[in-house]
Amino acid sequence: MVPLAASCGELGIMEIKEIKREDNMKSMKSSSIISIIILVGWMVLVPIITANEALAKSEEKTLRIGALVAMTGFFSIRDIPDFNETKIAADLINEMGGININGQKYMIELVSEDYKSTMDGTAAAANRLVYDKKLKFIIGPTAYFATATGPVCDPNKVIRIPTWVANSPGEVDATTPYAFVGCNATLATASGMAEYLKRAYPKTKNVTYVMIDDGTIPYTVPVVKRLLGAKGISIVGKPIVYSNDTLDFSPIAAKINANKGTDAVFHVNCVGPQIGNIVKALRELGNKMPYAACMPTTLTEVVAIAGKEATKDVFVGAITASDPKMAPLAKEICKRTTAKYGSDYTLYLTGADGLWDLKQVMEKAQSLDPTVVKTTWESMDTIETIFGPGKVCGDETFGIKHHVVAHPLPIQILKDGKVVSGGWMPVYMP
Amino acid sequence: MEQAIPTLTNILVLSSMYILVALGFVLLFNVVGIINFAHGAIYMLGGYIGFAFSVVCGLNQWLALLLTVLVIASFGLFLERFCFRPFAGDFNRTVTICIAIIVILETGVNIIGGTKILTFPAFVEGILRIGHVSVSYERILTFAIGAILLGITIWFIKRTKWGQQMQAVSQDVEAAALQGINVNRISAFASALGCGLAAIAGCLMGAYMGLSPFMGDFILVKVLIVAILAGVGSIGGIFFAGLVLGVIDAVFPLFISGAASSAVAVAIVIVILLIRPQGFFGHEMEM
């Protein structure tokens, strides 16, 4: 039994080996055929794909847009985060296909110049962008520094979009036909903050008005007074104004505290350290009034200086990364910014918004000619800002038709020790 | 009247802050003969290094303060040896070097530390309330440290051998050298001491007001005013000059709005200098 079985087993093995060899041959043949097909397909398709890619790339052009940024000096605290966000917005726009003009795609390349937080630095940086680099569109600078760019940009028909304006002559007005504002800036922010103040603290009737002495007081105060008046709020006493080189804000806090008969503090045109130090000194004096800081400065900065306890009832006009009601584009920029720079990074988004507005106007104009873009912007009534639906307005206040955009204002508050969104307020900008 | 007591505390705190920073500046000026325009930037650097020790490394803030003083004092030694000593007596080059140091330090901190507002953890917390008066312990501490350090510095200069050697160098370098005083060693020590004092002020102010890469720019103007008002060669005069500037800065904003208060304050300084060109306690200096 055993030998038979063994011989049978040997025969079986031979047969199996033969069958396996045949199978191997077959599978080798079929895999060779498949490989040849793939190889041929690859050889045919790859040039087609790469040719298409190359063709698509050759169709893309670069649009160089200037960015006036305070990289150095005291204002860099505000400008560097904003510029970092603008760069992220430019990348996002490029990923979305860039700016499409008559079927031609333009990828944005930001060309930055440091204006060194000085007026002469601003003029010099604007000259470099306009005369040396021949750029036709500029984002920035911020606030009153914009006045130094008008004499360079307007005669050369260069469109500039300051990242903030405070309403002083020469920022954006009848003398600056090529200047546009893409974000809320001082006045529209003040109107939205007044709305929140009234909703959150309905008994508020009188406020102490505080602002930095940046030369815009005669132009800002009457408008803010009117905007507050529209909400039934009055300014008590003279505006309390502090110098830009103020080291200790205790005297300012003492002055605010001594301004009797007020229900809240209304702080216009300010940066985080100023708000934080005034709030800290004010709370030390036992003053616990609501404090409206009309700037997109993050409350985190105020908490860092004044502490959580003191920051109760303080609110700012800033966007919050965790806000579920944020518009998708703003959400994406915030997501990328916080991923890159940290969760408590200041989110201004004013430069990003200016860039986004410019893209839309260019595409509507279907032109890169600054004069055509200017005329198109002036003809628009609405625009989709990254903060949501925006209205092109400000004719009465700025003395120029449709050069200013107003959009819903994000509010940031401190709740249960955490910086959270306080909702979105409508703004009013006549 | 209601504002009187808060204003009085503001005067004391502001004065002590100015005195603390000006002390280091004046030491360098008197002994090394350098108008260190980078003193504000060194003060800022002190605050940031203190922050790094206390927050990033998690050390106790008093230990962080001590380590910061050591680091910045060492930096002062470096500055004296490689930036100031080679150009001693050459005003133009010294000013250029100081400006370069300011730009390097401010830009460096701006890039490394970022633009985010940082604060050195408070040394003491809480508010002292007596009747209608309320002052934070932080402000009291700032004043106390300023006053104590001023006292120690004056004692050190007047009563110790090293201090007397510093005085000798500040009066006449050549005569001091002929007396066997190692001028370079005294200059290096004065630079280290001056920078160390700036570091203490930077940490205290960093806890009180927050840190910014450009915080030194604002304090430098005040320091220059205090030093000039005190008078060349006067350490004790700093106390008086700091108090005068503290009064001006704490009282004027109550009555004069905005930048005008700063302008009036500086105008008063000009008037004082017209009446007493040598400052309150200084001697006439030959340039």
Query: What does the pLDDT average to over A40-60?
Result: 60
Containing A27, the helix (H) or strand (E) segment is helix A2-59
Predicted local confidence at residue A17, as pLDDT: 58
Residues of B in contact with A208 (CB under 8 A): none
Question: Nearest CA to B15 among A250, A201, A351?
Answer: A250
Amino acid identity, residue B50?
A: G
Which has more confidence, B4 or A260?
Answer: A260
Average pLDDT over residues B135-163: 87
Tokens describing residue A310: 């003191």
Segment A354-378, tens digit of pLDDT: 999 999 999 999 999 999 999 999 9
Q: Is A413 exposed, middle or buried (0-12, 13-18, 19+ CB in 10 A)?
A: buried
**Assigned superfamily of A187-316:** Response regulator (3.40.50.2300)
Q: Residue A51 pLDDT more than 70?
A: no
Is B210's CB within 8 Å of A284's CB? no
pLDDT band at A52 (very low <50, low <70, confident <90, very high): low
Residues linked to residue A69 through DSSP beta bridges, in sequence order: A114
pLDDT exceeds cutoff 70 at A382: yes
Give pairs for B80-85: CB < 8 Å, separation 24+.
B80/B32, B80/B187, B80/B188, B80/B190, B80/B191, B80/B192, B81/B188, B84/B32, B84/B34, B84/B36, B84/B187, B84/B191, B85/B184, B85/B187
* pLDDT at residue A331 in the model: 94
Q: Which residue has the higher pLDDT, A38 or A380?
A: A380
pLDDT of A65 higher than 80? yes
Look at B270 and B115; give whichever has higher pLDDT.
Answer: B270
Instruction: Identify from A279, A285, A308, A347 which residue to disrupt to test chain B contact, counting B C-beta atoms within 10 A and taking the largest count.
Output: A285
Answer whether A399's CB lies under 8 Å from A174's CB: yes
Confidence label for A37 from pLDDT (cuts 50, 70 and 90): low
Confidence of residue A3 (pLDDT cuts 50, 70, 90): very low
Residue pairs between chains A and B whose CB atoms are closer than 8 Å? 121
What share of chain A has pLDDT > 70, as a percent? 87
- State which residue of chain A sits closest to B138, comparing Cα positions: A284
pLDDT, mean of residues B145-168:
88
Q: Which DSSP letter does residue A148 get?
A: G
C-alpha A135/C-alpha A159 separation (Å) is 9
Say which DSSP state B275 is in: H
Quick: pLDDT tens for A125-171: 999 999 999 999 999 999 889 999 999 999 999 999 999 998 889 99
Residue A14 has pLDDT above 70, yes or no: no
Q: What is the pLDDT of residue A34?
A: 66
**% helix / strand / coil in chain A, to the nearest 5?**
50, 20, 35
Check pLDDT > 80 for residue A39.
no
For chain B, percent of residues with pLDDT exceeding 90: 34
Which ipTM value was assigned to this complex?
A: 0.84
**Contacts with A277 from chain B: Cβ below 8 Å:** 209-210
CATH of domain A61-179+350-385: 3.40.50.2300
How far CA A284 is from CA of A254, A281, B10, B250, in Å, comes to 10, 5, 12, 16
Q: Tell me the whole-structure pTM to 2 decimals.
A: 0.83
Alpha-carbon torsion (A271, A273, A276, A277), positive or negative: negative
Rounded distance, CA A191 to CA A294, Å?
A: 9
Which one, of A3, A25, A23, lies nearest residue A15 by Cα? A23
Nearest-angstrom CA–CA distance, B271 and B265? 10
Residues of B in contact with A308 (CB under 8 A): none
Q: How far apart are CA B97 and CA B93, in angstroms?
A: 6
Give the three-state DSSP class for B5.
Answer: helix
A291 SS3 class: strand
Q: In terms of C-beta distances under 8 Å and separation of at least 24 residues, what long-range contacts does B100-106 make, across chains too? A: B101/B38, B101/B41, B102/B37, B102/B38, B102/B40, B102/B41, B102/B216, B103/A72, B105/B38, B105/B41, B105/B42, B105/B44, B105/B45, B105/B216, B106/A72, B106/B41, B106/B44, B106/B213, B106/B214, B106/B216, B106/B217
Mean predicted lDDT score pLDDT of chain B: 87
Q: Work out the percent of chain A whose per-residue pLDDT is above 90.
A: 73
Confidence of residue B80 (pLDDT cuts 50, 70, 90): very high
Q: What is the pLDDT of residue A54?
A: 55
Backbone angles phi, psi at B78, to 5 degrees: -60, -45
Within 8 A by CB and 6+ apart from A365, the residues are A372, A373, A375, A376, A377
Nearest to B118 among A78, A304, A346 (CB): A304
Q: pLDDT confidence of B124, banded at 50, 70, 90? A: confident
Residue B86 tokens, joined: 């080679």
Give the nearest chain B residue to A300 (CA atoms): B117
Closest CB from A80, A251, A286 relative to B254: A251
Chain A residues at the B interface, defined by Cβ less than 8 Å, are 72-74, 76-78, 80-81, 212-213, 217, 238-248, 250-252, 254-255, 257-258, 272-273, 276-277, 284-286, 301, 304-305, 341-342, 344-346
A296, pLDDT greater than 60: yes
Using the predicted structure, report yes or no on whether residue B99 has a pLDDT greater than 90. Answer: yes
Encode burial over B75-108: b for 16+ CB neighbours within 10 A, e otherwise. bbeebbeebbbeebeeeeebeebbeebbeebbee
Give the model confidence (pLDDT) of A176-200 as tens digits.
Answer: 999 999 999 899 999 999 999 999 9
Look at B184 and B116; give whichever has higher pLDDT. Answer: B184
pLDDT at A55 over 80: no
Query: What HEC string does B76-90 produce?
Result: HHHHHHHHHHHHCCC
Please tell me which of the candidates A251, A252, A301 has its beta carbon nearest to residue B117.
A301
Which of A80, A240, A248 shows the shortest C-beta gap to B10? A248
Contact criterion met (CB < 8 Å) for B214 and A74: yes
Q: Are A329 and A362 in contact (CB under 8 A)?
A: no
Q: Where are the alpha helices (DSSP H) in A291-327?
A: 299-306
Domain boundaries, given as residue ranges, for chain A? 61-179+350-385, 187-316
- Provide the pLDDT for residue B116: 77
Is A149 in contact with A113 (CB distance < 8 Å)? Answer: no
